[in-house]
Amino acid sequence: MRPFLLSLFLLIFAGLAQAQTLPPDLVHAGYNWDVGRKQRLPITKEDAELPAIILRDFTSLEYYYDKSRKDLRLFTTEHRIVRVNTSDGIERFNKIVVPVLESGAPVDIKARTISPRGEVHEVKAADMKELKDQEGGRGFRVFAVDGVEKGSEVEYFYTRERNFNHFGYEVLQSETAARDVVFELISPEALTFEARVYHGPAVTVDTTMAGRRALRLTLKSVPALREEAFANVQAQRMRVHYKLAYMANKGQVRQFTWADASQFVYRNMTSLSKDDVKAVAKVLAAAKLPTSGPLPERIAAAENYVKLNFNLDENASPSLTQVVATHNAPEGGFVHLLAAIYRTLGIDYELVVTSSRATNPFDSSFDTWDYLDNFALYFPGTGQYLAPGRPDYRYGMLPAEWTANSGLFIKGVTLGTIESAVGKVKEIPALDADKSPQNIDVTVAFAPDLSNSTLQLRQTLGGYPALQIQPFWAMIPEAKRTELMQQLQKGVVADATNFQKTTVRNVERGLSPLDKPFIIEGQLDSPSLLDKAGPRYLFKIGTLLGPQTELYQKEERQFDVENDNNRRYLRTIRFEVPAGYTVRNLNDLNVDVKAGGDAAKPDYDFKSSYVQQGQTITVTVDENYRQIRWPKADFEAFRAVVNASANWNKVVLVLDKKS
């Protein structure tokens, strides 16, 4: 859940005062390690060859009713035992990172190491060297553990208070293999929590704790998660999401449902005080937005004005009066302001809240508000979306990881004189491949003595490829732009020299890459595109695709294919065959590889061909990825398309001298 929405939730549903000491009657208040253990835990020969292995991974969350404060608090106890076998393993685990409350709530922590010789070195909390974390020292306490050597065990546990919330999740899997993995959630009997485990077994109800409820998951081992191309590996981690589902004083009424979330979000993102109404009127008076004309243009005009005149600042106040007064706003402020503007202009919209499928794909069947991370607006009149709090995006585009994902769609309804909201979970479609082109158009002219090649190169980036540079071009110092333009052209022609006539187009602030793609074009030389090999020349035409991904993994595929976004690559290459020469292997330019869909429009394809008119040859290479997901059971078909591009990248035409 986004920080600004979480803060609203906390203000409404939970007390924020922090205690100075940990309560002595927590379930794990007396938690300790095996004090008599002097030797390391046994591991297998295979485990000893890993950089590190986690031998104990215990996490306990406890919802605790504080009688003195008469409110609920949340504590966690975590215990890790890690065998470090290499320098890399030591580097990763010789620091203990403890998330803490900004109020400075206490942390009860103990740490020790056990050497390969059975030497036990305990590090007291008072003796630990506290370091500042790389994000500036806020939100974490980082402790260094001295004396760690290869083959040592690093063991630590701590109990700390956490920000109170009625839902959350814990990750149970990382790139390090783990043994003896335990997760538990403890709560007072009056509160019933539910949990959903992803990529692992279900939790069980523990009935052994008198006076409390407990959910538990115990795993003998959890394998390491390795990186894999064309997959959202973070989303594939074994993890457990949990939420408060029932409260004794509410009977059998389910809590924190999608309907509840719809009411909560709509109320907080659309309600306006008298001062807010005045602030919005002030913005509209300054903006002079069109009140008639094509609906898409009216939507885009309002968005563009706000995003060009207000700064994104997550530390700013979300209050509309403050937003308008300071022209600074957190994401929630942008959502609130644009929603108010569209409503005033009579433009129908729905609020959309979703997660990132790159880490936590939205699960409509488990109504945890932990998926309510990212805000979008949906316009039923056009079927299009915009991301209010993302100044780099424009109408018609959302961050790719929000799409091909479900989201909660919320619209206002009026019942008599009462304004309310209803919500429904629906799919957010991905942008079509044609909307995200990454095209190359190049004309190659060989020097008369074939010692050099001069290229007229144009690159066209639309949709998602353009977002890497187009929104930020105006902020790049003039002195750096030439260097950047040359780097972009070297991305296609690595040995490019003698840059001339280099220009960029469509770089003004506020442009949409769907309407006006980023274009860079110019003239350059390539001394090595053509190589002499005895009486013949070798034209490395394949390199003009730019670097390509090679998908030659040896391990068995772990996950289904998942692309970041749909996309299209269209390349056109023209060249004149030098006088007195012929091309021996033009048929190497003809490739046609497809996967899925129908023959006319497959899900994925790589197709290249050429046309020759006299000495002029024009080559067209068209590569498309039209679906986000593809099953791993048919991975070879997808890999064939990717590798067709990589193989074409190596194509070399042989120019033979005519006899």
Q: What is the pLDDT of residue 545?
A: 93
Average pLDDT over residues 54-72: 94
Which H or E run contains 58?
strand 52-66
Q: What is the pLDDT of residue 340?
A: 97
Q: Per the structure block, which two tokens stand in for 584?
A: 């021996």
Average pLDDT over residues 164-182: 95
Q: What is the pLDDT of residues 415-429, one digit of tens each?
A: 888 889 999 999 999
More confident residue, 144 or 8: 144
Residues facing residue 160 across a β-bridge: 76, 107
How far is Cα 455 from Cα 525, in angstroms, rounded to an integer? 6
Helix (H/G/I), strand (E/B), else coil: 318? coil
Q: What is the pLDDT of residues 511-562, one digit of tens each?
A: 999 999 999 999 999 999 999 999 999 999 999 999 888 888 778 899 999 9
Global pTM? 0.92
Residue 54 amino acid letter: I
Q: What is the pLDDT of residue 592?
A: 97
Helix (H/G/I), strand (E/B), else coil: 492? coil
Q: Per the structure block, which two tokens stand in for 13?
A: 């549903």
| pLDDT over threshold 50, residue 351 | yes
With cut-offs at 50, 70 and 90, classify the pLDDT of residue 607: very high
| Nearest by Cα to 135 from 100, 175, 170 | 100
| Nearest by Cα to 196 from 160, 240, 152 | 240
| Nearest by Cα to 634 from 557, 567, 531, 543 | 557
| pLDDT over threshold 70, residue 324 | yes
Q: What is the pLDDT of residue 106?
A: 66
How far is Cα 289 from Cα 292, in angstroms, rounded to an integer? 9
How far is Cα 75 from Cα 195, in angstroms, rounded to an integer? 17
How far is Cα 270 from Cα 538, in angstroms, rounded to an integer? 65
Which residues, 6+ apart, have CB-to-CB distance to 376 below 8 Å? Answer: 351, 352, 353, 354, 385, 386, 387, 388, 398, 402, 407, 428
Q: What is the pLDDT of residue 135?
A: 52
Counting other chains too, the contacts that 268-277 makes at CB distance below 8 Å and 24 or more residues apart are 268/5, 268/8, 268/332, 269/332, 269/335, 269/336, 269/339, 269/351, 269/375, 270/336, 270/339, 270/340, 270/343, 270/351, 270/412, 272/320, 272/340, 273/321, 275/320, 275/321, 276/319, 276/320, 276/321, 276/340
With cut-offs at 50, 70 and 90, classify the pLDDT of residue 97: confident
With cut-offs at 50, 70 and 90, classify the pLDDT of residue 504: very high
More confident residue, 122 or 622: 622
Q: What is the pLDDT of residues 372-410, one digit of tens each?
A: 999 999 999 999 999 999 999 999 999 999 999 999 999
Average pLDDT, the chain: 92
| Nearest by Cα to 214 from 236, 189, 238 | 189
Average pLDDT over residues 237-256: 96
Average pLDDT over residues 343-370: 97
Lowest pLDDT segment from 178-187, 318-327, 355-364, 552-561:
552-561
Question: Could you write out the DSSP letters of every residue in 395-443?
Answer: TT---GGGSSEEEEEEEEEEETTEEEEEEEEEEEPPPPGGGSBEEEEEE
Residues comprising the chain, all counted: 659
Average pLDDT over residues 93-115: 81
Residues facing residue 625 across a β-bridge: 567, 604
How far is Cα 231 from Cα 541, in angstroms, rounded to an integer? 30
| pLDDT over threshold 80, residue 107 | no
Average pLDDT over residues 598-625: 95
How far is Cα 41 from Cα 191, in angstroms, rounded to an integer? 38
Which H or E run contains 9?
helix 3-13
Q: What is the pLDDT of residue 543?
A: 96
Through-space distance between the first and last CA atoms of the chain, rounded to whole angstroms: 73
Which H or E run contains 96?
strand 95-99
321: buried, middle or exposed (CB in 10 Å: 19+, 13-18, 0-12)? middle
Output helix, strand, coil percentages for the chain, rounded to the nearest 5: 25, 35, 40
| pLDDT over threshold 80, residue 13 | no
With cut-offs at 50, 70 and 90, classify the pLDDT of residue 18: very low
Q: What is the pLDDT of residues 127-147, one digit of tens each?
A: 666 666 555 545 677 778 888
Q: What is the pLDDT of residue 132?
A: 61
